[in-house]
Structure formats: C-alpha cells, structure tokens
C-alpha cells in the first residue's frame, strides 16, 4: 500500500471496507421515470422510444431534450497520473473516477459515470473518446500525465462539440486564481503589478499561471521554475507548453526568483520553499504552497519568518484550502445549463472571479453553524469559500453560464437569470451536508473528551482512531491496555502514534471516587456498596457514565456489544435526565432531511408525552441548524376516522397551543399530508408553511418500523436513534455497529454536549 499523510483520518482497511460494503463501488444507476406498469415500459422502450429516436435523427440537438445528455458528464482517464501515485494503469484509476462522479452529484447535481481507457498512447486515447464523446453533455478528463494531457485536451476540444475539461489543470488554476484575486486585494496590490513566481511547471502549474495572466497578471512579471531551474527564453530542451510561459530573465534559480517577489505559487514538492526564500519576498507576500499531501513549506514555517504573509495550501487542516471541488462541479453545472460547446478562458476567469466575490460576501448562518457559530469573515484566513458553503450551487454557475453566452459558445441562452438562480437553489440535496456540518462544528468547537466504552473491540478501536485523526475530539478507550494494543496492532494501527488515552476501570485512580459517589446515589434503591464497587470495576458503561458525571469526560458512545435497553438502564442509574429524554432518528433521503421522534424511549406516549417529545425534537433540530416544522403522524386525518390515538394527538396539539411554543406544528395527519404540498391543498386551515421536517410518531412501534423499513428498502440513510435529553450526551449504537456508525454517534455526542454547554 502507498504511504499516506500523517493527517489521514482512516486506516487502509477502513478505505477498503468503505469501497467494498454494503456493495462494491460508490455509484449506481436509478431510473427517473416510473417503471411500474406495462404502459410505463411501452413508453420507456418499445414502441414508445421510437418517437424520440426519430426526432433526434432529424435534429441531433434534440438529444438534450429527450435524453439525459444535458445533465451527463463522463469522467475519463487512462490512469497515467493517479493522484500522486503515478502510472498505475487504467483500472487502478476507477475508484478515483467513481469518486469524482460522486462529487459531481453531491455538489452540483450533475449525473456522471466513469470511463477508463486502456491505452497510454495519446492518439489512441483521443480516437476512443472522440468516437464516444457525443454521448455526454461534457467530458471531465482526469489523472492523465503531463505533457500528454495538454495535447489530448486540445485535440478533443477541437474534435468534439461539447465541453472538454482537464480538471487537474484547470480546477487548481481556477481556485488559486480566485485566491490570488482576494489575496492581492487584502495585500493592497493590483494583479497587473504582482511579481509572480511558479515552482512546479506541470499541468496544474502551467494552467494556473496561464489563467492568472488571463485574469490580469502581466506575462513579463512571471517566472516559472521546473526541475532544471528557471524556464527562460532560449533555454534548450523545453517543450512547447513550458516555452509558452518562458520569460526574458537573468534569473536561474528559485532562490533568486523569490527575492522581491510578491507571490509564489507552489505546485511542486514538499520542502521546495525555504524560510530564507520567504524572508526575501516583498512586503505582504502571498504564498500558495499547494503540493499534496505536504506543502512546499508549512504555514507555521512561513509565519515564523513573515507575520505579514497571506497563505493558502492544498490541505483542509489549514485555512484557505485550494480545493478543486470549489470549481469543476459549478463550471460544468453552468456549462451544461446553457448547452455550451466548450469551456473557454472567459468561463474559467468568470468562475474564479465569482469565487473571489463570494468569499467577500457576508457568510450566512448555515456556514457559520458548521463552525459552531464562529463567524467566518473575509480576510487573511478566509480568501476562498469553504467547499460546504450552500451558496456555491446558485452563486457560481450563473457567472459561468453568462460568460458562455457572452462568448458565443452557448447553444441555449438563459433568458431569466434570477429564475435560473432560484432553480439552482432547489437542485442540491440538503441532506448531504448535515453530517458534514455537524463534523465541522465539532472540529471548530472546544475539544471534547469522548469515552468509547467498549474499547477492546476492534471496530471501536478503529472508530476512536478515525475520530482522533479527523480532529473531532479526544477519544478515551475503556479496557485492558494489553488487549487494546494487541487488537489495534492486528487492525494495522500503530498504537504508539495514535495518541489515544486508555483507561482500565479496575486500576483507575478514580475507582474509589466513582464507587463512593455512585453508592451515595443508589444506596436507597436497593444497592449495597459491594454491588456498586462491582459495577464500577467490571462494567464499562457504569464507569464511562461516571467519568462523564464527574467531569473526567464530556460524553460517551457505547452499545456495540450490548442491546439498547440494557445499556440505557445502566447509564440511567448514573446520569439524570436533563429534560425530556427521547430517541431521535435522522432520515436522509433524496432532497430531504427528516427527523423522526420518538424512536427509542416512549412506547405509547400520552398527550403530555407527545407534546414534550415535539418540544425536545424541535429544540434538537434547531441546534442542528434547521428550522423545525413538526407534524404529528397518525393513521387518521384531523379526526377521520376517529380513534383513541387520534384524540391523544389532538390533545397534544391543544397543550402546545397553551404553551405558545416557537415552532410550527400540526396534526394529526398521515405522512403524505406532512410531506406533499399538493395533498395539503384540501386542508387550507393547516398551519405548516412548508413540508414538515420533524415527524412525531404515535408510538415506538410505528417509529421503529417505518425508519427501519425505509432503510431496509434502500430508500434512505438512517442515523440513530440518537439519544437526547440526558445531563451528559451518551449515544447508544446498535449491536455490531460499523466503524462509520460509531464515529457518527461519537461526533453527535460531542456536538450535542457542546450545544448543551452553550445553552448553559
């Protein structure tokens, strides 16, 4: 296996398991038209399909109207430059290409699939793609080595009448140019006055310097450096791509070029830039050290010699990450929506300028919530938008589309740009960002100490390692150190490098303290001191919960080896209920995020219980950054047919009316009324302004059956049930939970504990 950066947040086995289970790969196809009846099949295939066939035969552009071509991109590679791993063959590139297809869908709702071409000959590659290229609305070339990638892209752009975009070149160029625009603004410098040095004259470097020139940097103010030194006019053995950027300069080394430079763009290798070079630069230097996984110079080293520097890297653990996902989804979204014939310089510059402009906008609450309310503000540490900014989908593509229209490469101009922005807002699946937003908020908040109670289990050890590596908090593994170390080694984890605390309850210095404290709590409930001593010594749920109660930890995750009810009883003997305790499941489906309550605590809740469940669920959903709209679900619709459970819900509604709560609620109603605006037209008195996103169930039976049924059918991802309402956040996963499920539960525990702390 290749070496990985020390910031990797998963083990090799985690990566293999992710790609292997529950089914291999990362993408699949789903029909977007009904296939339920004979008529459906006749329309989809024979004889109905003959009608669009004949229409397209008369006018090939009709393929955009009658097929998926207009929202379809191919991600194509021959595997000659996979990530930073080199030429590993076309099939080795397939996981990367599938990953790119997933990002297209996640960030811009662009459908795509991968094509791996079995040739390293550029002419053969061009021939293959040319002959199949009309299938798609655009082509994203990926992981093709330099300099062949330049010629391949140029030829295909000429041969095909659709956008052909090599992201390794242009993605980095667009994002770094956006960053340069803003960095220059902060430094008080004009683009045309900047002296720019590029180290790393590969595909990304040459494309970046080219786009920066298109944005306003003067060619005579640039110097590029490859492995042989400065690329100057007249230097022998320089290919045409580098020669196009050669300058008439006496400089011959990077060290010489950096003296007095305003900007250095690094796309080379770790350690290529030294502190001495940085110290020699002009005031307010702009340093983009974008080599991966390790930059040419670390921000810490830069700041040790230049406090006035503006720094960007290719890494997510530093401010100002130059991340290609900020570019390619939105370039293609805008290009596809005007049926562009190509992606030209003007469209790329427009994308860069739009990204720069977005970073200067006030950051909305949705983004601030990701950072636990810390307001991101345009400045030295925020010159590029974050990848999970929800505005990207509707802010960037209109600029790209407008540039395509202005330069005459658009087949279908957009007449109403405001309507287009509105349409873009509705494209993105809002559920996809929820877990990421929670993770971002946890990462940005004060560090939480999270107890992983079943610390000897291999899955728990791997989850704790991933949690720590993702910088989500400090994990504490409960168990015998010798066994934990043994299981960690068998999982391929170097425990000495993990930096994870191990606590053995039997020999802990807090053992007596916890025993005395818990005995005082339970002595009038039939427990002898020796009973409590045994509980603390031998049961990690009691010990872990006591750690939280006594302040040696903040929150806990457990349940891998024991069923939910047993764990809950144990935890409840140690921790009090802070407010109404409920189980809340999160259902992530296409286009929706639904919160379902109560899914684990109240078997048959009464009216008071239902009202409290609604209040607690709404408060939790609000802490997660959503505006709660509560629907009380039932088999009946506002009293029809009548029944005792329906009357119970109606009483809960009356109780909420009396309390004057600050969220929308309505009931009783079936699910289709809560989720379908068309169905609600028959009930004009309903108080829901939009579809409900919090569903209060009449009992555990209906809550558990509905969420598990949806999950079993593959219609959604279900997280939880999450336990809400204890004085300390404890999350109980299902028996045999996966590593990912344990990490998600631990992350939510840390998030909920932080949110409760903020509320006081």
Does 147 sit behind a cis peptide bond, omega within 30 degrees of 0 on the bond before it?
Answer: yes
The phi, psi pair for 549, rounded to 5°, reads -65, -35
Cα gap 635→641, rounded to integer Å: 8
Cα gap 506→532, rounded to integer Å: 13
Sheet holding 164-166, edge to edge: 111-116, 72-77, 138-141, 164-166
CA-closest candidate to residue 384, choices 407, 351, 417, 431: 351
How do beta strands 474-478 and 449-452 pair? parallel
Instruction: Report whether 257 contacts 230 (CB < 8 A).
Output: yes
Owner of token pair 């290009």:
335
- Is 420 among the residues known to form the active site? no
CA-closest candidate to residue 450, choices 484, 378, 501: 501
Mind giving me the DSSP string for 447-465? P-EEEES-TTSHHHHHHHH
Q: List Cα–Cα distances, 106 to 429, 430, 638, 744, in angstroms.
A: 7, 10, 38, 19
Cα gap 660→655, rounded to integer Å: 9
Cα gap 385→374, rounded to integer Å: 15
Burial label, 203 (beta-carbon count in 10 A; 0-12, 13-18, 19+): buried
Owner of token pair 């025993």:
515
H or E element in which residue 548 lies: helix 540-549
Buried b (16+ CB within 10 A) or exposed e, 55-82: ebeeeeebbbeeeebbbbbbbbbbbbbb
Cα gap 240→150, rounded to integer Å: 10
- In sequence order, what are the beta bridge partners of 569? none
CA distance between the termini of the chain: 48
Instruction: Report helix, strand and coil shares of the chain as percent, to nearest 5.
Output: 50, 15, 35
Q: Which of 7, 45, 590, 635 is catalytic?
A: 45
Instruction: Report whether 332 contacts 163 (CB < 8 A).
Output: yes
Instruction: Report whether 223 contacts 205 (CB < 8 A).
Output: no
Cα gap 127→119, rounded to integer Å: 11
CA-closest candidate to residue 558, choices 544, 575, 537: 544
- Is 100 among the residues known to form the active site? yes
CA-closest candidate to residue 262, choices 211, 204, 207, 197: 197
In sequence order, which residues have a C-beta less than 8 Å from that of residue 141 and are 6 or more positions away? 76, 77, 149, 152, 153, 156, 164, 165, 166, 167, 168
Q: List Cα–Cα distances, 150 to 203, 215, 490, 650, in angstroms.
A: 7, 20, 45, 68
Mind giving me the DSSP string for 112-169? EEEEE-----HHHHHHHHHHHGGGSSEEEE-S--TTHHHHHHHHHHHH-SS-EEEHHH
The neighbour count for residue 151, using CB atoms within 10 Å, is: 16
Cα gap 253→197, rounded to integer Å: 11
The neighbour count for residue 459, using CB atoms within 10 Å, is: 20
Residue 501 sits at the vertex; the CA angle it makes with 500 and 503, to the nearest 5 degrees, is 145
Q: Which of 69, 94, 100, 242 is catalytic?
A: 100
Q: What is the CA radius of gyration of the chain?
A: 29
Residue numbers annotated as active site: 45, 100
């Amino acid at each position: 296996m290749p070496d990985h950066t020390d910031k990797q947040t998963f083990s090799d086995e985690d990566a293999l398991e992710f790609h292997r289970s529950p089914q291999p790969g990362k993408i699949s196809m789903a029909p977007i038209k009904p296939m339920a009846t004979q008529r459906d099949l006749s329309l989809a295939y024979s004889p109905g399909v003959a009608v669009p066939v004949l229409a397209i035969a008369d006018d090939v552009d009709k393929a955009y109207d009658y097929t998926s071509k207009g929202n379809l991109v191919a991600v194509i590679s021959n595997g000659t430059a996979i990530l930073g791993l080199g030429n590993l063959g076309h099939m080795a590139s397939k996981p990367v290409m599938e990953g790119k297809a997933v990002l297209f869908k996640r960030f811009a709702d662009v459908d795509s699939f991968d094509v791996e071409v079995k040739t390293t000959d550029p002419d053969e590659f061009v021939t293959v793609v040319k002959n199949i290229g009309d299938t798609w609305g655009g082509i994203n070339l990926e992981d093709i080595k330099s300099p062949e990638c330049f010629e391949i892209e140029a030829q295909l752009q000429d041969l095909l009448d659709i956008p052909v975009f090599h992201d390794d070149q242009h993605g980095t160029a667009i994002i770094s140019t956006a960053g340069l625009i803003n960095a220059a603004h902060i430094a008080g410098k004009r683009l045309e006055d900047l002296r720019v040095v590029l180290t790393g004259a590969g595909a990304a470097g040459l494309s970046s310097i080219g786009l920066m020139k298109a944005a306003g940097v003067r060619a005579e103010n640039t110097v590029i450096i490859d492995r042989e030194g400065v690329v100057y006019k007249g230097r022998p053995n320089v290919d045409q791509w580098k020669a196009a950027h050669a300058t008439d300069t006496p400089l011959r080394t990077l060290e010489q070029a950096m003296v007095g430079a305003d900007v250095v763009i690094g796309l080379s290798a770790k350690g290529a830039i030294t502190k001495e070079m940085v110290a020699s630069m002009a005031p307010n230097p702009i340093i983009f050290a974008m080599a991966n996984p390790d930059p040419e110079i670390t921000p810490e080293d830069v700041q040790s010699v230049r406090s006035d520097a503006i720094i960007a890297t290719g890494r997510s653990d530093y401010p100002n990450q130059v991340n290609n996902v900020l570019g390619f989804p939105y370039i293609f979204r805008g290009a596809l929506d005007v049926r562009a014939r190509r992606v030209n310089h003007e469209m790329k510059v427009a994308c860069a300028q739009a990204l720069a402009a977005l970073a200067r906008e006030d950051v909305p609450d949705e983004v601030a919530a990701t950072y636990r309310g810390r307001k991101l503000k345009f400045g030295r540490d925020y010159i590029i938008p974050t990848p999970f900014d929800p505005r990207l989908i509707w802010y960037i593509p209109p600029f790209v589309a407008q540039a395509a229209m202005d330069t005459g490469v658009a087949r279908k101009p957009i007449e109403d740009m405001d309507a287009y922005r509105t349409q873009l807002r509705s494209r993105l699946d809002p559920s996809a960002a929820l877990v990421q937003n929670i993770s971002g908020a946890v990462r940005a908040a004060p560090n939480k100490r999270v107890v992983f109670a079943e610390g000897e289990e291999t899955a728990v050890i791997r989850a704790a390692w991933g949690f720590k590596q993702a910088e989500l908090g400090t994990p504490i593994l409960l168990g015998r150190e010798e066994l934990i170390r043994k299981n960690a080694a068998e999982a391929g984890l170097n425990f000495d490098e993990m930096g994870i605390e191990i606590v053995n309850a039997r020999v802990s210095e807090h053992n007596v303290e916890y025993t005395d404290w818990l005995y005082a709590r339970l002595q009038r409930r039939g427990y002898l001191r020796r009973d409590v001593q045994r509980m603390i010594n031998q049961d990690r749920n009691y010990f872990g919960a006591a750690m939280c109660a006594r302040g040696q930890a903040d929150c806990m995750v457990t349940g891998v080896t024991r069923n939910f009810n047993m764990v809950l009883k144990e935890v409840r003997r140690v921790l009090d209920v802070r407010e109404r305790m409920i189980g809340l499941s999160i259902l992530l489906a296409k286009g929706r995020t639904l919160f379902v309550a109560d899914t684990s605590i109240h078997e048959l809740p009464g009216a008071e219980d239902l009202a409290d469940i609604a209040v607690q669920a709404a408060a939790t959903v609000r802490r997660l950054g959503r505006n709660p709209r509560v629907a009380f679900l039932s088999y009946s619709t506002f009293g029809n047919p009548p029944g005792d459970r329906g009357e119970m819900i109606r009483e809960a509604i009356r109780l909420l009316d009396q309390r004057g709560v600050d969220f929308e609620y309505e009931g009783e109603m079936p699910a289709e009324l809560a989720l379908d605006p068309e169905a609600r037209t028959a009930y004009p008195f309903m108080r829901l302004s939009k579809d409900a996103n919090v569903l209060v169930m009449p009992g555990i039976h209906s809550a558990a059956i509905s969420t598990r049924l949806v999950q079993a059918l593959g219609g959604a991802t279900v997280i939880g049930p999450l336990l809400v309402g204890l004085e300390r956040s404890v999350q109980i996963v299902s028996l045999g939970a996966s590593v990912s499920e344990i990490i998600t539960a631990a992350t939510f525990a840390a998030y909920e504990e932080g949110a409760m702390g903020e509320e006081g």
